[in-house]
């Protein structure tokens, strides 16, 4: 199978390295990377390294060249900035050769929103899939772990997302102080709970969720403070510790958790959907409060690989996803 990664920035390069590392397990032959904009000289080593590992890097800029490239591949991983994938949605659907495509994060409407392990049936055999945001991965997986199958034990959830303001490799959006977000959604507060609700809705679940958001002057990790009211008491430590998509830590400092990702994670990333501070859970009756750190990008990239398998090779997706999860998720930090 021949695949195309569109965009060679932070997400695209890490995804390409994952595809190269696991190409046999994923059933991939050729990997093409399209650099969308002209690359400055300082980006050349990054692209050269991808090429040396086996990817073919192209700089298709004309419409004719882009169209020819799209007609030559079986699958597209669109890793461009907000809105770009949505603009090409109809183009992707019109390509008879294309078995599927995925878009990252904020591309609501591109396809069903997906979080690995939460709603695989919603994307199985789908041509287009939206990979939900990193915070949506964290919140949805925490709810599923504690709420039980079908969220039968979840009465209500309230979430506070504490966001870093910028990626470690960038400096464009750094804030100088804490900035709160408006509660624009009348039912859910901020978009984080609304996005998680959309993911659960694809499998017929409609939990009561609300969220708030504050952005802090950090370039490391997001965090989420969760408060779940359950219908019955649970062993929260066991449920969170046993979930295959969650990691646990006894550390209270995101600097230390982030550093362990650099030390032990593939390409310096953490791929768990969230890293729960397991020794700081506050339990009172059937209520559970706690904190988790969010490995932004890493958690969405694992779901990107799962979506690809469910879209193109559903019969073998389950076994391959379990192997990928075991290989990439560092369970204790």
Q: Mind listing the pLDDT tens digit for each residue in 215-260?
A: 878 777 889 999 999 999 999 999 999 999 999 999 998 889 989 9
The predicted model scores a pTM of 0.92
3-state secondary structure of 216: strand
Give 107-127 pLDDT, tens digit per residue.
899 999 999 999 999 999 899
Q: Which two tokens stand for residue 128?
A: 């287009």
Domains recognised in the chain with CATH numbers: 3-132+299-328 (3.40.50.720), 134-296 (3.30.360.10)
Buried b (16+ CB within 10 A) or exposed e, 217-226: ebebbbbbeb
Reply yes or no on whether the pLDDT at 192 is more than 90: no
- Pick 14 or 180 by higher pLDDT: 14
Read off the DSSP letter of residue 38: P
What is the spatial distance between Cα 6 and Cα 26, in angstroms, rounded to a whole number? 18
What is the spatial distance between Cα 165 and Cα 264, in angstroms, rounded to a whole number? 24
Residue 172: its pLDDT value, please?
63
Reply yes or no on whether the pLDDT at 306 is more than 90: yes
Q: How many CA atoms lie within 13 A of 154 on its CB side?
A: 24
């Amino acid at each position: 199978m021949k695949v195309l990664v569109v965009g060679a920035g932070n997400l695209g390069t890490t995804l390409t390295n994952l595809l190269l590392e696991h190409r046999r397990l994923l059933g991939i032959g050729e990997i093409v990377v399209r650099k969308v904009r002209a690359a400055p000289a300082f980006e050349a080593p990054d692209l050269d390294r991808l090429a040396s590992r086996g990817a073919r890097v192209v700089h298709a800029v004309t419409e004719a060249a882009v169209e020819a490239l799209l007609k030559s591949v079986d699958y597209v991983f669109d890793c461009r900035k907000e809105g770009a994938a949505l603009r090409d949605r109809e183009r992707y659907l019109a390509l008879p050769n294309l078995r599927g495509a995925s878009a990252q994060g904020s591309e609501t409407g591109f396809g069903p929103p997906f979080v690995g392990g939460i709603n695989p049936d919603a994307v199985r055999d789908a041509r287009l899939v939206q990979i939900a945001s990193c915070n949506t991965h964290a919140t949805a997986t925490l709810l599923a772990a504690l709420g039980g199958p079908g969220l039968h034990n979840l009465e209500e959830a309230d979430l506070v997302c504490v966001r870093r303001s910028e990626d470690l490799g960038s400096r464009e959006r750094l804030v100088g102080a804490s900035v709160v977000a408006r509660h624009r959604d009348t039912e859910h507060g901020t978009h984080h709970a609304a996005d998680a609700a959309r993911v659960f809705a694809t499998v017929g679940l409609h939990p009561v969720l609300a969220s708030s958001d504050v952005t802090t002057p950090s370039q490391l990790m997001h965090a989420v403070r969760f408060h779940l009211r359950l219908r019955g008491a649970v062993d929260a430590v066991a449920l969170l510790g046993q979930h295959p998509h969650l990691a646990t830590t006894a550390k209270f400092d995101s600097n230390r958790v982030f550093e362990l990702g650099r030390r032990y994670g593939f390409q310096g990333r953490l791929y768990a959907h969230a890293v729960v501070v397991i020794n700081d859970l506050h339990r009172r009756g059937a209520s559970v409060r706690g904190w988790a750190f969010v490995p932004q990008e890493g958690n969405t990239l694992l779901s990107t690989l799962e979506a690809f398998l469910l879209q193109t090779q559903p019969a073998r997706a389950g076994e391959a996803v379990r192997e990928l999860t075991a290989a990439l998720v560092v369970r204790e930090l």
